[in-house]
Each structure stands twice: as structure tokens, then as C-alpha cells.
Amino acid sequence: MVVDARTHQPYGLLHGGASIVLAETLGSTASHLCIHSSKFYCVGLEVNANHLRGLRSGRVIAIARPVHLGRTTQVWDIRVSGEDGQASQLAGLPSGLAIVASFTGHFVIAAC
């Protein structure tokens, strides 16, 4: 993701919310790739983040790694780094993503 005026907060730093959107999008996409998408879909249950350093320009790269890929939940560790490879944010979907199945129009949501 590009770090510029579009993703800055008022002090000229990368907005934490933009980083979280990137992390959650990546985690949700990765989760989707791990399921049978004609039977299930994934929705986020929780996301948290620790902002380690501010960035003013350049790009950030997010890498998602599975921590747990269960039958009803997934937990992902997502690290957002600057172009120098140093982490700028550690994000997680700690309660994972609920894997939801659709049966005859009713939704069964997995409990975590």
C-alpha cells in the first residue's frame, strides 16, 4: 500500500486505520483461499494491532501467516512492514474468522 497524503493521519504519518484495513483485507482474503467457497464464507470476528513505528512515505507490505486453521475458526498473524523490511505494525485476527455455512437460506455462525 502506498504511504502518501491519501493514507496519512493529520500529523503526516501513516494512519493506523489504513494499516488495519490492509491487514484485515489480507487476512480475510487468505482465509477465503483456505475454505470451500461454494459452501462457506469467512467474516472477521476481531482484529487488533500494535503500531511499532510511524512511516511518512514509501510503501508498506503486509504478510499474513496462519496461526490456526481450524474447522470453524482461523487465526492469522499479519505483519505490516516498510520498504526497509522493518515492521511498522503487528496485527492479528486473534479470535480468527468465523467460517459460516449457508444451509437453505439460514446462516450458522461458528462460535469461538
The rounded percent of the chain whose pLDDT value lies above 90 is 31
Grid cell for residue 37: 467457497
Supply the residues annotated as catalytic: 24
pLDDT (tens digit, 9 = 90+) per residue, 2-24? 999 999 999 999 999 999 999 88
Distances (CA, A) of 85 to 31, 72, 81, 99: 24, 33, 5, 32
- Tell whether the model's pLDDT for residue 33 goes beyond 70: yes
CATH, domain 2-108, list 3.90.1150.10, 3.10.129.10, 3.40.1360.10, 2.60.40.10: 3.10.129.10
pTM value is 0.81
DSSP state string for 46-103: --EEEE-----SEEEEEEEEEEEE-SSEEEEEEEEEETTS-EEEEEEEEEEEEEEEEE
Would you kindly state where each structural domain of the chain is located, as residue ranges?
2-108
pLDDT (tens digit, 9 = 90+) per residue, 48-75? 888 889 999 999 999 888 888 888 888 8
Q: For position 107, what pLDDT does the model report?
A: 38
CA distance 12 to 4: 8
